[in-house]
Every structure is written in structure tokens, then in C-alpha cells.
Amino acid sequence: MKMDYHLATQYNSEVSISMQNITLTSRSIAYRRGILDNSQKVNYVQQGLGAPVILTHGLAASLHDWDDLLPELSTAGFAGYALDLLGHGESEKPEQVREYTVENTFEHFSKWIDSLGLHEPMVLVGHSLGGGLSLLYALKHPERVRALVLVNPFFDITQLPPVMQRVFRHQLINTSLIDKTPYSLFRFFVDMTSFNYYLGHRETHVLPAHIRYQTALDYKRASSGIYNIPRTLPSLNLRHARGGALDLSRIYQPTLLLWGGRDQTLAPASFAQLENSLPNVAGRHILPVCGHVPHQCHPETFNPHVMKFLKNL
């Protein structure tokens, strides 16, 4: 894989490693852009040195989902890697709508992991669509996965509200209106959905201002074709998971489940169903105040759960 490097914010450390004339310390953060062996672009970030932790964002998000977790991973002696998925951020954006499928998104994700040249099993941390991709990766490559952290995971279109299910079950061919939507409108939408309507809370918004800014920017940067990905999600059929094409009983790795109790994008009950289908759930925590993005809603509560889980592996 061809690679360009941009090194940012390097701190003092006794541990360092040289990579193509770039010296990384245990707390350095490096933003990288490369070309995978299928000629697709990939944009990602690495921070820290040590046991690998792969961080995967959800639909219409970006690698910046993990800006609060990466430094903690680095400080604890892990190497954190986060990418922009296919069609997102600064990664490849295919022109043809039909190319936006779970299969192609997974291939891009999988080839990126291959390109990292990791020599030990990794921990997969996935939010929403990233959680679904992490489940698929653990099923396809169990020997490469040490553990899983699933955050409001999106693994089946039936998790969506009925209206959204009807929309996403059909290929969205004309998405030009989404492409023409200005940042200001995306920001208005994000601000409205983040507004705290619950009495007794001093916070006006569930999400901090800098998170709302980045979320709206990620919506604007993403290809409108990504909204065709959900309809191609393979059904995990949780009620009959054993013996199926995607047999969750084969995921033997320790798994941590985290979700926001006020998720209005995916049904919270589906996360409990997933918990009952996985054989090795080592922990589960519900962040009651948060919605679909608990890792951004209250990282000061979310991150300790993840770090404690990693420490006990």
C-alpha cells in the first residue's frame, strides 16, 4: 500500500519507532492517506504504540468520532487506529450508487486492516455501522480478533424505526438533494436532535458544541451514496442465530456492549437481544442520558468502561 504521512502533536516519550523516516513515539498521532491494493483511497489515524485497537465509526461519521478515546488508549499503552470508511471523510468515494454496499464497505475496511501489517490479534471497537462491520470481521477472521467493544451496534435494518426501514429498503438512486444540502442545514438538524428536552438537566444540548460542529461537517463531507448501505446489511436473525449463515454463537471473544438509553435511531431493545445471542459478553453498560452516540455524548463516562475492559483482557 502506498502511504503519505502527516505527523501531528508529538509528545515526549521513551518509546519510539521509525516508519519510513517518520518517528512515532508512544503518544504521537499520525494522520495517514494511502492507496489500498484495490486502488481505493483510505484515510486514517494512528495514535500510540502497543497492542492494536481498531476503531470504526458509524454511518455519515468519520475517524473524528474517536478523538476523545484515542489519547486514553495511547496513554494506557495501546496503538489506536481509526479510519474513514468507504464514502466517508477523506476516504474513497465511488461515483456509482450501486457500489455502496455492506460488502464493498467491508472489503475496504478489511483491506485497510490487512495493510496495517499487524502481528497480533486486535481489539475491535465499533459504533453503529462500525459495530456491524466488527461483528462481520470477527465471524470471518476469528483468529485475528482478541475482543470486541460494540457501541449501539447497527447489524440489521429492522433495528430502524418503521418509516426509516421503508426508506432504506429501496435503493436511493437520486441523492442529489443530499449533495446540495448546505452545512448550515446539517448543523441545524444536528443541533435540534441534540437539544435536551428532558427537564431537570442543566445542559442545553446532549452533545457538546465541538461535537455538533464535527457531526454536521461529517454529514456534509460524506458521499450521499452511503445511505444505500443499510439496505444491504445481512440479517443476523437474532431469534434463530445458531446455525445460520451468520452464527453469532461462533463469536467466542470477550465482548463489551455499550449503548445510550435514549437512542432514537436504533431500537435499544435490539442491543439486549444481541447480548442474549453472544456467548461471551463480559460486560454491558447503558448510558441513560445519551442517545445514539454515547462515546461522544459523555466520553468521561464512556471511556472508563472501555479502558477497564481492555485492562482486564
Angle at 151 between CA 207 and CA 229, to 5 degrees: 95
Does residue 11 have a pLDDT over 50? Answer: no
Residue 143 has pLDDT above 80, yes or no: yes
Residue 307 pLDDT: 98
* pLDDT given at position 23: 55
Whether residue 258 is predicted with pLDDT greater than 50 in this model: the reply is yes
How confident is the model over 73-90, as pLDDT tens digits? 999 999 999 999 999 999
Highest average pLDDT, of 76-80, 227-231, 242-246, 288-292, comes from: 76-80
Which band of pLDDT confidence, cut at 50, 70 and 90, is reported for residue 301? very high
Q: ∠ at Cα 44 (11, 297), nearest 5°?
A: 80
CB-based burial label for 30 (10 Å; 0-12, 13-18, 19+): middle
pLDDT at 241: 43
Q: What is the DSSP letter of 205?
A: B
pLDDT reading at 186 higher than 50? yes
- pLDDT band of residue 155 (cuts 50, 70, 90) is very high
- Residue 215, SS3 per DSSP: helix
CATH of 2-311, one of 3.40.50.1820, 3.40.50.2020, 3.40.50.9100, 3.40.50.2300: 3.40.50.1820
Each residue's pLDDT tens digit, 260-280: 999 989 999 999 999 999 999
- Order of strands, sheet of 145-151, starting from the edge strand that comes earlier in the sequence: 2-8, 29-35, 41-47, 78-83, 51-56, 122-127, 145-151, 255-260, 281-287
- What local confidence, expressed as pLDDT, does residue 210 receive? 85
Among 68-72, 167-171, 199-203, the least confident range: 199-203
Predicted local confidence at residue 243, as pLDDT: 43
Give the integer Cα–Cα distance in Å for 20 and 238.
46
Distance of alpha carbon 233 from the chain centroid: 15
The mean pLDDT value for 131-144 works out to 96
Q: Helix, strand or coil for residue 98? A: helix
Angle 279-85-104 from CA coordinates, rounded to 5°: 80
Average pLDDT over residues 165-190: 70
> d(Cα 138, Cα 157) in Å, to the nearest integer?
20
- Between CA 110 and CA 107 the distance in angstroms is 5
Whether 246 shows a pLDDT value over 90: the answer reads no
Of 48 and 241, the structure prediction assigns the larger pLDDT to 48
**Whole-angstrom Cα distance, residue 109 to residue 83?**
8
Whole-number pLDDT of residue 215: 84
